[in-house]
């Protein structure tokens, strides 16, 4: 190879000179020769002799049985971009290649390239320096000499296939499940993309399916097809792949290949020889014969074929959980003759990749790939719901059902997780639930698209597969008050799963997630009431709930008032969606049975670059029914129970009381008592009666209502009894008076010594069905 000095002073750069000094400091490296510039590779080349510690019995011979010599010359080729890029490391020409941890390619002058670290050499070099690289080379040579590059305790090292241009993606677990001890072959359907083979063998990317195809003329005719090209230089289509595996040896034991070989196959003849070494030569011959026979009636055309040979190793392949190694190859045939060039037909090894599968996604996301898919339902397939759903799908936990009757609109492209394209434009305007379900299926997680209204579903025994008794949770991201009301009111027989709700406020200033407790107590409506009580305590939460500044106002996307929507960036929704998705994943991975309710509030930080989440646990509420109104219910929250108990304890000898605050739902016929206001100073307490004063009461109620961001209101009054009695005649008349004074239903709450009682007025509004 021609070489010459380079540089104005005929000296290598300072960085290369420094590298030579580093090489010379290693005790296993003899002084390196001076660097020389090699035109053919465009690098400064330094050759260094490494002293290799051979196993004791072979020191005198100067060579190990594996072909490693006591002194090995290693070439370091420093590119002009050094030290930004590392040197290329190569061994002497003729160095044996039947080692693991050796790259499948040669340098331009036929030198093998060792793989000295299990990460990109550039990253290792920039992190640990040239000293560490030289040390790794020395270790690699000594392990190669001793035959310990493969550690049985770690597993069998697969044949190196990185750097290959052709790629084959498979579901390894499901393919290995197809194998048996008898040996044989399977014909599988595949999809492919390839560059147009104007010169030589086309570069291919192949996706092998798990579905089998019979090797017959009719089957191949129906499978092989060419689809419209992606570009002028590429084409795509469908075809078949052959899966071939070994059987048993003459003594009945499984055929095992314990020989490590580099991936050097380049022709059909070499592929047959490799199959012989792996123990499946006969099976490959039978597969190719059947394939050739099936092609005889095909029209003349050149198409790709993928062949996967299975090698049974003496112990588990690293990271596979199986002793079977899959070795993929791509070739092209020409119908109807199959392989007109015979054994000279070009064959190329292909890099093997895991195809998209739920276990792969779970593994990549830090989850357990063997853990089952948790059944849950997503209600609302809009911007927030689609993002959260896809976050979980990419972790292997997509919902089993998506409920949303609404259709896509062009403005949804600004924030929806699905992306429109020219090829899918008609589908983009379809129903959101169907589009999202298709995305989940592409991630190996089929989901039902329920194109119906969730509020109607929970009122009907016909649930259309939206959820079942197996469902872990119904996650509501619809931001619909109607849906929330319906979910909160749903009978346990119609909605057995707990509800988790996610929504945003103030143009993305505040994100809220609520999760129901055990037996749906507290329920989703209880938890939203707790959010408004939090606003009373926290002025910042209150401000974010009520933010309606111009930058976050509504934007018109069409004609008519129904075409208004919230103005907010996709990035901002994604900030909140990520945290909400992490919550769901963590909840699914830990004990799935909730014991308490949870309220999480996420505040956008001052730089709008992150979200600070706070979590509050919400205990179960106390549920009672008012006297003479059993179709109504009163849900008394823990804070109200605590405040009433404290006030009662302060006045144990007399009746006391105050004002109850909360929210009323006439749709669900429910009072949520979340807080109490103390009685004004002019209130009268006695052993037989409590009379609520009026001093500053209106102001106190108004301030509380405004402090809750207008989410809460005055529901009525409460007072204590010194015995176990419920509402008296006087209490009932008081309830009537309260009702007459209010446009909404009014409540009188009584704290007896043993439990709570309630009374309501009898106005037509209250009794209305």
Grouping H, G, I as helix, E, B as strand and the rest as coil, residue 387 is: helix
Q: For position 423, what pLDDT does the model report?
A: 45
Q: For all residues of the chain together, what is the average pLDDT?
A: 87
pLDDT-based confidence at 422, cuts 50/70/90? low
Query: Model's pTM, two decimal places?
Result: 0.84
pLDDT-based confidence at 10, cuts 50/70/90? low
Q: For position 128, what pLDDT does the model report?
A: 94
Q: Strand 204-212 vs strand 498-505: parallel, antiparallel, or unpaired?
A: unpaired
Is 769 a residue whose pLDDT tops 50? no
**The token pair that represents 468 in the structure block:** 């079942």
Is 285 a residue whose pLDDT tops 90? yes
Give 56-76 as a 3 state SS string: HHHCCCCECCCCCECEEEEEE
Report the percentage of the chain scoring pLDDT > 90: 60
Q: For position 740, what pLDDT does the model report?
A: 52
Sheet holding 88-90, edge to edge: 3-4, 36-38, 43-51, 71-79, 88-90
Is 704 a residue whose pLDDT tops 80? yes
Q: For position 731, what pLDDT does the model report?
A: 60
Domain 3-146 class, CATH top level: alpha beta
574 Cβ neighbours under 8 A, 6+ residues apart: 387
pLDDT-based confidence at 735, cuts 50/70/90? low
Is 35 a residue whose pLDDT tops 80? yes
pLDDT-based confidence at 732, cuts 50/70/90? low
Q: What is the mean pLDDT of residues 273-281?
A: 96
Closest by CA position to 720, among listed 625, 631, 653, 624: 653
Please give the angle made by the CA atoms of 670, 675 and 676, to the nearest 5 degrees. Answer: 115
| pLDDT digits 0-9 by tens, 456-498 | 998 877 767 899 999 999 999 999 999 999 999 998 888 889 9
* Cβ atoms of residues 731 and 750 within 8 Å: yes
Torsion of CA 37, 107, 161, 84, to 10 degrees: 0
- Among the residue ranges 212-216, 298-302, 330-334, 422-426, the one predicted with the least confidence is 422-426
In this structure, what are the phi and psi dihedrals at residue 17, rounded to the nearest 5 degrees? -60, -40
- Among the residue ranges 133-137, 161-165, 730-734, the one predicted with the least confidence is 730-734
Rg (alpha carbons) of the chain, rounded to whole number: 37
How far apart CA 259 and CA 282 sit, in angstroms, is 19
How far apart CA 477 and CA 380 sit, in angstroms, is 5
237: enclosing H helix or E strand: strand 234-245
Q: For position 604, what pLDDT does the model report?
A: 94
How far apart CA 621 and CA 522 sit, in angstroms, is 6
Residue 336's Cβ-count burial label (10 Å; 0-12, 13-18, 19+) is: middle
How far apart CA 370 and CA 403 sit, in angstroms, is 27
Domains 362-618 and 622-767 are alike in CATH topology = no
Q: For position 165, what pLDDT does the model report?
A: 85
**The token pair that represents 396 in the structure block:** 């292997």
Sign of CA dihedral 658, 661, 665, 668: negative
Give CA separation, 654 vs 648, 685, 707, in Å.
Answer: 9, 6, 31
Q: For position 279, what pLDDT does the model report?
A: 95
| pLDDT digits 0-9 by tens, 633-656 | 999 999 999 999 999 999 999 999
How far apart CA 144 and CA 61 sit, in angstroms, is 16
Residue 224 DSSP class? -
How far apart CA 609 and CA 600 sit, in angstroms, is 19
Is 667 a residue whose pLDDT tops 60? yes
DSSP per-residue letters across 661-707: EEEEETTTTEEEEEEEEEPPTT-EE-SS-EE---TTHHHHHHHHHHH
Residue 651 DSSP class? -
* Cβ atoms of residues 303 and 206 within 8 Å: no
How far apart CA 266 and CA 269 sit, in angstroms, is 8
Q: For position 219, what pLDDT does the model report?
A: 84
Domain 622-767 class, CATH top level: alpha beta
Closest by CA position to 679, among listed 693, 690, 667: 693
726: enclosing H helix or E strand: none
**The token pair that represents 401 in the structure block:** 């059902």
Q: For position 9, what pLDDT does the model report?
A: 42
Is 548 a residue whose pLDDT tops 80? no
Superfamily the domain 362-618 falls into: NAD(P)-binding Rossmann-like Domain (3.40.50.720)
| pLDDT digits 0-9 by tens, 581-624 | 999 999 998 866 677 899 999 999 999 899 999 999 999 999 99
| pLDDT digits 0-9 by tens, 513-522 | 999 999 999 9
Q: What is the mean pLDDT of residues 540-569?
A: 64
How far apart CA 465 and CA 461 sit, in angstroms, is 11
Q: Would you kindly state where each structural domain of the chain is located, as residue ranges?
A: 3-146, 167-355, 362-618, 622-767
**The token pair that represents 459 in the structure block:** 């009122």
Closest by CA position to 374, among listed 275, 440, 473: 473
């Amino acid at each position: 190879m021609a070489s010459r000095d380079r540089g104005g002073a005929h000296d290598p750069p300072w960085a290369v000179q420094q590298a030579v000094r580093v090489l010379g400091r290693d005790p296993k490296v003899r002084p390196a020769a001076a660097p020389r510039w090699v035109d053919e590779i465009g690098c400064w080349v330094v050759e260094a002799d490494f002293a290799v510690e051979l196993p004791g019995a072979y020191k005198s011979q100067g060579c190990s049985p594996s072909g490693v010599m006591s002194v090995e010359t290693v070439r370091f080729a420093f590119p002009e971009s050094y030290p930004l890029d590392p040197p290329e490391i190569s061994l002497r020409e003729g160095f044996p290649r039947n080692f693991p941890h050796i790259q499948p390619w040669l340098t331009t002058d036929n030198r093998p390239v060792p793989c000295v670290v299990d990460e990109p050499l550039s990253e290792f070099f920039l992190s640990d320096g040239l000293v560490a690289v030289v040390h790794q080379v020395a270790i690699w040579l000594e392990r190669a000499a001793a035959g310990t590059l493969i550690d049985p305790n770690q597993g069998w090292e697969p044949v190196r296939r990185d750097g290959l241009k052709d790629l084959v993606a498979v579901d390894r677990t499901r393919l290995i499940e197809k194998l048996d001890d008898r040996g044989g072959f399977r014909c599988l359907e595949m999809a492919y993309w390839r560059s147009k083979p104007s010169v030589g063998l086309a570069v291919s990317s192949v996706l092998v399916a798990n579905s089998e195809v019979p090797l017959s003329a009719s089957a191949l005719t129906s499978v092989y097809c060419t689809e419209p090209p992606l570009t002028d230089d590429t084409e795509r289509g469908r075809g078949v792949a052959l899966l071939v595996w070994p059987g048993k040896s003459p003594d009945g034991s499984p055929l095992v290949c314990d020989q490590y070989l580099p991936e050097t196959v380049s022709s059909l003849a070499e592929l047959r020889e490799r199959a012989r070494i792996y123990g499946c030569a006969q099976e490959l011959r039978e597969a190719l014969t059947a394939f050739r026979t099936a092609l005889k009636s095909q029209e003349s055309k050149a198409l790709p074929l993928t062949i996967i040979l299975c090698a049974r190793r003496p112990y588990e392949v690293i990271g596979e959980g199986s002793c079977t190694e899959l070795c993929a190859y791509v070739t092209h045939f020409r119908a109807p003759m199959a392989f007109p060039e015979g054994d000279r037909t070009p064959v190329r090894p292909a890099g093997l990749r895991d195809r998209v599968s739920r276990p792969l996604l779970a593994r990549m996301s830090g989850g357990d790939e063997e853990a089952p898919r948790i059944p849950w339902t997503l209600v609302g397939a809009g911007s927030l719901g689609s993002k959260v759903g896809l976050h979980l799908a990419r972790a292997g936990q997509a919902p089993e059902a998506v409920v949303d009757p609404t259709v896509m609109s062009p403005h949804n492209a600004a924030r929806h997780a699905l992306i429109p394209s020219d090829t899918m434009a008609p589908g983009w305007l379809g129903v959101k639930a169907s589009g999202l379900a298709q995305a989940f299926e592409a991630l190996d997680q089929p989901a039902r698209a329920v194109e119906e209204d969730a509020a109607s579903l929970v009122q009907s025994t016909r649930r259309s597969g939206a959820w079942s008794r197996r469902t872990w949770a119904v996650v509501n991201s619809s931001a619909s008050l109607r849906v929330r009301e319906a979910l909160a009111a749903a009978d346990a027989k119609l909605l057995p799963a707990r509800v988790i709700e996610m929504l945003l406020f103030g143009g993305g200033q505040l994100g809220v997630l609520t999760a129901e407790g055990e037996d749906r107590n507290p329920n989703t409506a209880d938890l939203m009431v707790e959010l408004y009580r939090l606003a009373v305590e926290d002025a910042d939460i209150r401000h974010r709930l009520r933010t309606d500044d111009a930058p976050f106002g509504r934007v018109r996307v069409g004609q008519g008032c129904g075409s208004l929507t919230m103005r907010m960036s996709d990035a901002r929704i994604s900030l909140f969606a990520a945290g909400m998705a992490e919550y769901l994943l963590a909840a699914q991975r830990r004990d799935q049975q909730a014991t308490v309710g949870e309220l999480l509030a996420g505040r956008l930080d001052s730089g709008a670059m992150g979200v600070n989440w706070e979590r509050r646990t919400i205990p179960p509420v106390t549920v009672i029914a008012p006297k003479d109104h059993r179709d109504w219910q009163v849900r008394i929250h823990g804070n109200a129970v605590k405040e009433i108990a404290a006030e009662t304890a302060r006045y144990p000898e007399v009746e006391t009381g105050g004002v109850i605050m909360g929210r009323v739902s006439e749709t669900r016929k429910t009072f949520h008592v979340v807080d109490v206001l103390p009685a004004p100073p002019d209130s009268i307490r006695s052993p037989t009666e409590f009379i609520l004063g009026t001093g500053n009461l209106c102001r106190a109620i108004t301030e509380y209502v405004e402090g809750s961001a207008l989410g809460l209101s005055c529901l009525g009054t409460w007072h204590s009894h010194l015995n176990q009695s419920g509402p008296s005649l006087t209490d009932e008349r008081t309830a009537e008076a309260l009702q007459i004074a209010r446009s909404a239903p009014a409540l009188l709450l009584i704290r007896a010594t043993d439990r709570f009682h309630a009374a309501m007025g009898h106005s037509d509004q209250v009794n209305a069905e």
